[in-house]
Structure 1
Amino acid sequence: MEISNNSNFNINEYLESTYLKTADQAGISEEENLLITQQLVQQAIDQNYKVAMILPQYVAMARNMLFAQKSDVLLGTVIDFPEGKSTLEDKLMQAATAILDGADELDFVVNYTSFRFGDLDLVRQEVLECSRICLANNRAVKWIIETAALNNQEIESLTKLIREEIVGNFEEKDFQKVFVKSSTGFYKTENNLPNGATLETIAVMLESARPLQVKASGGIKTKQQALEMINLGVQRIGTSSAAVISAD
């Protein structure tokens, strides 16, 4: 039986309601962007989504909202978003700030550009050190590999690299706190090709990531799309359309 046909199934438990645009990207004022973020967090509280996923500068504000309303919704943010090209030191500094501000889950953009150029040692080191700071502070860590920038062989290889670093350096109890994530949703593709999660790429990630978890993100806008991903085996859905998905 597919999970979506289970009477106990609640799709909201998979949803990471997401808003990651800066004011400049959205073409609005800082005040308007803050209001949108506050509204997203409040909706996550009201609908009891799994995670409210927001930009780092809003984490402290959101943590206060969650605390004031005694909400169990998890608070997520992004690190080195959306290109992943910063130094390890910068990534660690951003992570430390997010943890202090109250983030429960940190989604790092892996340096997939360095990976494509063959600098595997750099990628391994950032996966190890950034995962370590999160796990040591009882935070979940998710590695965004930007599937639209990679072919299937690269997706498999990068996912396996992340898996090997985690399995080889951490305890089994930590594995469920580490995810491989498909996309930022901001990558610019040629010829209007998909820039987010597809069933094909998610299947490759699931096969290559075990025992780590997989988060599908990028372009998931309908309940049907979300259910297809969940039935494949993903544990999280990152989406800016949580309200639509949960209401269908």
Structure 2
Amino acid sequence: MDIKQYLDSTYLKTADQAGLSEADNLGIVKASIVEAIEEGYKLIMIRPEMVAVAKEMIAGASSKVTIGTVIDFPLGQGATEVKLAEAQQAILDGADDLDFVLDYEGFKAGKTDAVREQVLVCTKLGLENNKIVKWIVEIAALNDHEIVQLSALVKNVVLSNFDESTYNHVFVKSSTGFYKTRDGIPNGATLSGIKLMLENSYPLPVKAAGGVRTLEEAQQMISLGVKRIGTSSAAAIVKGFKASGGY
């Protein structure tokens, strides 16, 4: 198993969130892109405004690293038009993967039909442009029943509206890594949450994002059936170290 081919190496902080100047934060983004190129990770996951920078650097290095970005991040409460506009710009800038934040709060408020329609329209845009689409359900904001429901919702939209050949291009993803929890409760991927996602999203693939910081944790997720791992600790995972904090 080549662990690097499961890793979406991730840096999604703004300068304000990182407590840095714009220039210093851009430096971290560029360093992350260089690391992904040199190490041969599957993908570099960055904010939308950084996609064009990554595209230029990766093309210049003749690298096979792909580029992912987040859409309607981190809350997912934007209108469908907002999601579509962000996704269209990311496509123009050269993104390969589009990680949409699903409107989980809208779903919890009973707006199931609206959420289902948003998943349909945005997935259609991604697939028509030959992109990988991922739907972030934010499991830390959900109870087990809601995790089951949202995983199944994404699955059912895809199975009802798209050809079987597209199934492995639409993921259900656990977390943004930015959700604020109380009392130290994990805000990212947990074994119990990932198991529920896998059971209820099949045959769609699952991405475990948030909180995977060691090689052992990554291997656990892969052994369960996860196809991608989103992490800001890619280097530590590959080298067998334990990262302290982060996504």
Structure 1: segments with no counterpart, 5+ residues: 1-8
Read off the aligned partner of 1:135 and give its amino acid letter.
Answer: L
Displacement of 1:191: 1.1
The alignment partner of 2:183 has SS state of helix
Within 2, Cα distance between the matches of 1:131 and 1:219?
26
Q: Which residue of 1 aligns with 2:168?
A: 176
Number of matched residues? 240
- Could you tell me which residue of structure 2 aligns to residue 197 of structure 1? 189
Q: 2:111 aligns with which of 114, 119, 133?
A: 119
Distance in 2, matches of 1:101 and 1:22, equals 19
Question: Of residues 206, 227, 233 in structure 2, which corresponds to 1:241?
Answer: 233
Q: Which runs of 5 or more residues in structure 2 are unaligned?
A: 241-247
Distance 1:144 1:159 in 2: 10
1:76 aligns to what SS in structure 2? Answer: strand
Structure 1 residue 49 corresponds to structure 2 residue 37: no
SS in 2 for 1:49: coil
Q: Distance in 2 between matches of 1:26 and 1:226?
A: 25
Give 4+ residue runs of structure 1 displaced > 3 Å after superposition. Answer: none
Give the equivalent residue in structure 1 for 2:72: 80
Q: Which residue does 1:221 correspond to in 2?
A: 213
1:140-179 to structure 2, matched below 5 A, reads 140-179=132-171
What is the match of residue 14 of structure 1? 6
For 1:228, give the aligned amino acid.
Answer: Q
Question: How high is the sequence identity, in percent, across the aligned residues?
Answer: 53
Q: 82, 86, 89: which one pairs with 1:94?
A: 86
Distance 2:209 2:90 in 1: 21
CA RMSD of aligned residues (A): 0.5
Query: 2:129 aligned to 134, 137, 141, which one?
Result: 137
Q: Does 1:185 align with 2:177?
A: yes
Normalising by structure 2, we get a TM-score of 0.96
Relative to the length of structure 1, the TM-score reads: 0.96
In structure 1, the residue matched to 2:102 is: 110
**Per-residue deviation, residues 135-162 of structure 1 (Å, max 9, x unmatched):** 0000000000000000111000010000
Counterpart-to-counterpart distance in 1, 2:7 and 2:218: 9
The alignment status of 1:37 with 2:20, answered yes or no, reads no
CA shift at 1:182, angstroms? 0.2
CA distance in 2, matches of 1:51, 1:152: 29
Pick from 201, 209, 213 the counterpart of residue 209 of structure 1: 201
Which of the residues 11, 16, 21 maps onto 1:24?
Answer: 16
- In structure 1, distance between residues paired with 2:62 and 2:129: 21
The 2-side partners of 1:38 and 1:125 are apart by 36
Match of 2:62 in 1: 70
Shift of 1:192: 1.2
